[in-house]
A and B are shown apart, each in its own frame.
Chain A
Amino acid sequence: MDNTFVVTTVEPGFRVCSYHTDRFKTGILSVNLVVPLAGNVAEKSLLPALLCASCRAYPDLLSLNRKLAELYGAELSPSVSKHGENLVLRISMTMIGDRFALDGESISLECARLLCKALFEPNVEDGAFLAAEVEREKRIRLDRIEALKSSKRSWAQKQMIELMCADEAYSLPILGREEDIRALTPEQLCTSWQDLLKTAFVQLQVVGDLEVEPITALFREYFDHVEDRNVVRGKTVVIPSAEAVKRGVEEQDIAQSKLVMGFRCGMHEPFENYAAMRTFTDLFGGGTYSRLFMNVREKQSLCYYCAARLTAAKGILTVQSGVETENAEKAEEEILKQLEEMKAGGVTAEDLEKSHRSMEDFFLSVFDTPEELDGWLFSQVTDDEFQTPEDLVAEMKQVTVEQVIEMANNVTLDTVFLLKGTGTGDDGEVD
């Protein structure tokens, strides 16, 4: 079926989600493996990168990269993310549509085969990955973690989450702990890979002008060869409200401070009241008509950016802002004041109308790029029920002013983290 979402549970623990259309030049194929976020994250989290570095058929990085170039620049990309307290390991392939191949070859099927080779036929000898590759990937991973520390916004966000969710699995870093990465062995990673194939919930996603059935059949055949498959699903613990406010400060020699505030949203399970909560978040700190943008940024010029983001899979909301160090306290007060005003009924029908229109625009634009369609499917990788963008928009349009105020009243401040700039920034030593 063209231009519709098709979601099929092929067998328990293996779901295929597709959107077939010929309006794009690009196809995206991805395999997404969901496991509980727990224990030694490093040994799972490194797998996608390791599996995308080589396989039996293309036994080193150079031969694999050259093969991808010959497939008209197809991209084989590993990634890892968390959805609530689930860890999602993903390998995706982006490729040109078959009709653009200059010699009439079927790029999509060849890419599907290559993806299967990466996932199921890695460079494994005697129960271990190749030591040199493991060492390289470990080092790249450790460097990436170091690099994260230089990205001040993401660093501040990460530190806030680790403080806020210190006693929850959610605080586990998805890239793995540095000491765990250093300790990884080629044998341990091989066992972890075998466990992954046995226990992960699998969502195969096919977007674009690709034939779903042969691709599904191919993956199915490979999974049929996995012995003792026994899918383990994780469950996310959601804490509805905060008690005493936790505070953290870290000083760095940077020009501007980063203030990150974490809130609990009154949810008892992931995605509870999603449409209403998402609308509240948009009015609080989403669009240019939101309270944080209009007041904290525009009217008071307290920060260059100030935005709220909902993580419904965990029932938390964060506000991130970049402030001058001397304004940090004032910005925090002002952000909380805006929230208090919304709690007290400061939400108008006009504002809500703006949010409805903006959300409709935002969610319906999903249909215009293969990446966003793929992202839409991916955003529901841990959900049992599937929702289309139209379903969500229809639900959001039903949200009333009273519901938004109710949502505001469900929000409690949990944690405040300040990455405090102690530098002036303008006399950096250039030599």
Chain B
Amino acid sequence: MANIIEHRNDLLGDAYYEVRHETGLTVLVYPKAGYSTSYAVIGTNYGSIDDALKVKGGEEKVLPWGTAHFLEHKLFESEELDAFERFAETGASANAYTTFDRTCYLFSCSSNFEKNLEILLDFVQHPYFTQETVEKEQGIIGQEIRMYLDEPGWQVLFNLLKSLYHKHPVKVDIAGTEESISHISADLLYECYESFYNLNNMVLACAGNVTVDDVLAICDRCLIQTPEVLVERPDKGEPADIVQPSIAQEFAVTIPTFALGFKETHETPIRSMKERILTDLLMDVVAGETSELYERLLREGLIDTGFGYEYFTGPGYATVIFEGRSRDPEQVAEAIKAEVRKLRETGVDPVQFDRLRKMNYGKTVMSYNDIDGLANGLVGAYMNGDELFEELDLYREITVEDANEQLKHQMLEEYSALSVVHGPDETI
């Protein structure tokens, strides 16, 4: 009998369960009373930043950019019915996505959960790639890459990352480039699959109208024991300094789009949940809706309500990004930097800190409804080595001193860059 670990949060009245299956797959189950739908997602710790394959004890092999995403597209196919066709038989809605650091396959359904989970586990364990289908896919993905070339928000982000990162592959589009994907072959996909898709490198999360027993019974039936393969994520050797402090691109836009990023360098590859929560709060303090800066920029017409920010972080990269549209991105960037300088001197206002802590606690509580968000959140937390519910406790524990301490190492001007996409009529 497998050892089941219960993770419970009394405040929420929720619990999820964790099991390490004998095949090496980690299984997480989050039952939700009263829900009619179920959601399952299986993910591998393999994303677009993995531009090298290194099995423990082996040599490092360079991979073309976009390989993880390409493999995701192809794994849906099989010699007979492809996975979409099989899910169409049961009524489930299925999908997949690739991020910088992982690839996930998922479905949601309101009936036939057992059958659907069988299909999911089956197609993920049975790759079928041929040179012919790989070549066809090069055309489809080429179009997908071209579609993103027309998205100013996407371009402004990758231009920023190119200005911040010398080596780290986070600076390249998740789908790769039309050139890079032309080097992908069926054999290469098999090679990547055999390593990255080892069950020891994967996690299954189910949420909603599900039980631990049902999920484990299906796993027992459908998972195939294979020899353990451990994949390493080699350090990218990214230096601390940035490439260039500004970048601009001309585009068919009427109001310039901008992204201001502050690159960080850390000794460990992954940021802890506490660091991430404090960063979120610090960004709120600097330019959130309750800040004087936000109100002033809005009043002066320098930003619109699409202004936002995020802590853009994953294995080996961490950047605080402020983004939006502005007629004068330079002035917005200067105002943000000035606000950070001021904050470093005065420290965070304790009243504002408490207000924002309450706000973020509330927003976190409200995120515990959606089973897709929860299942994907479980996958992300697991890959980061976090416990999902830890977040809520942290919001009650963190102090204004923690925030001030962290600010000493964050949003440093010498590591910042401004990326702007502007219309043809403007001169920057």
* A residues in contact (CB < 8 Å) with B: 3, 21, 23-26, 60-62, 65-66, 68-74, 94-97, 100, 102, 132, 136, 139-140, 143-144, 146-147, 149-150, 152, 252-256, 287-289, 297, 301, 303-305, 322, 324, 354, 356-358, 360-362, 364-365, 367-370, 421, 423, 425-426, 428-431
Contacts and interface: CB of A to CB of B under 8 A. Distances in A.
A149 B254 contact: yes
A305 B125 CA distance: 28
A364 B365 contact: no
Contacts of A256: 143, 146-147, 149-150
B312 interface: no
A288 B36 contact: no
Interface of B: 11-12, 32-37, 84-85, 87-94, 108-111, 136, 139-140, 143-144, 146-147, 149-150, 152, 155, 159, 178, 208, 247-255, 257, 289-290, 292, 295, 298-299, 301, 304-306, 325, 355-356, 358-363, 365-366, 368-371, 424
B384 to A, nearest CB: 23
A356 B304 CA distance: 43
25 contacts: A23-B35, A25-B369, A26-B366, A62-B295, A66-B290, A73-B363, A132-B299, A144-B304, A146-B254, A150-B152, A150-B254, A287-B88, A288-B94, A354-B88, A356-B91, A357-B88, A361-B37, A361-B91, A364-B110, A365-B36, A368-B32, A368-B208, A426-B146, A428-B250, A429-B249
A26 B150 CA distance: 36
A49 to B, nearest CB: 8
A357 B250 contact: no
A223 B143 CA distance: 54
A105 B361 CA distance: 15
A370 B253 CA distance: 36
Contacts of A367: 35-37
Contacts of B247: 430-431
B366 A96 contact: yes
Given A23-B33, A66-B290, A428-B149, 5 more contacts: A26-B366, A143-B304, A255-B147, A322-B143, A357-B89
Given A96-B362, A144-B304, A301-B140, A358 B93 contact: yes
Given A96-B365, A360-B111, A369-B370, A430 B11 contact: no
A150 B253 contact: yes
Contact of B37 (A60, A365, A421): A365
Nearest to B107: A361
Contacts of B257: 150
A254 B93 contact: no
Contact of A425 (B85, B150, B295): B150
A26 B368 CA distance: 9
Given A72-B358, A150-B252, A150-B253, A370 B295 contact: no
A304 B108 contact: no
B159, B248, B359 — most chain A CB neighbours (10 Å): B359
A304 B147 contact: yes
B243 to A, nearest CB: 12
Nearest to B33: A23
A230 to B, nearest CB: 34
Contacts of A254: 149-150, 252
Nearest to A139: B301
A362 B93 contact: yes
Contact of B92 (A71, A140, A361, A426): A361
Contacts of A423: 252
Contacts of B355: 66, 69-70
Contacts of A362: 93
B208 to A, nearest CB: 7
A324 B366 CA distance: 42
A356 B110 CA distance: 13
A258 to B, nearest CB: 9
A94 B289 CA distance: 16
Nearest to B250: A429
Given A3-B34, A360-B110, A255 B93 contact: no
A100 B37 contact: no
Given A23-B35, A25-B368, A428-B155, A65 B251 contact: no
Contacts of A71: 362
A289, A301, A356, A365 — most chain B CB neighbours (10 Å): A365
Q: Which 8 A-B pairs have the closest CB atoms?
A: A357-B91, A72-B362, A73-B362, A73-B359, A69-B359, A425-B149, A23-B34, A288-B84
A97 B362 CA distance: 9
A68 B366 CA distance: 14
B32, B290, B325 — most chain A CB neighbours (10 Å): B290
Contact of B358 (A70, A147, A303, A304): A70
B12 A25 contact: yes
A371 B358 CA distance: 22
B359 A147 contact: no
B289 A65 contact: yes
Nearest to A107: B362
Contacts of B90: 357
Contacts of B368: 25
Nearest to B83: A288
B35, B108, B109, B147 — most chain A CB neighbours (10 Å): B147
B323 to A, nearest CB: 13
Contacts of A431: 247-249
Given A255-B150, A364-B36, A368-B35, A354 B366 contact: no
Contact of A74 (B110, B144, B362): B362
B85 A289 contact: yes
A233 to B, nearest CB: 31
Contacts of B139: 301
B354 to A, nearest CB: 9
B140 A304 contact: yes
Nearest to A322: B147
B146 A430 contact: no
Contact of A69 (B290, B292, B369): B290
B295 A25 contact: no
A147 B149 contact: no
A416 B255 CA distance: 28
Nearest to B354: A70
B359 A72 contact: yes
A255 B146 contact: yes
Nearest to B373: A369
A430 B361 contact: no
Nearest to A66: B290
Contacts of B295: 60-62, 65
A132 B300 CA distance: 11
Nearest to B247: A430
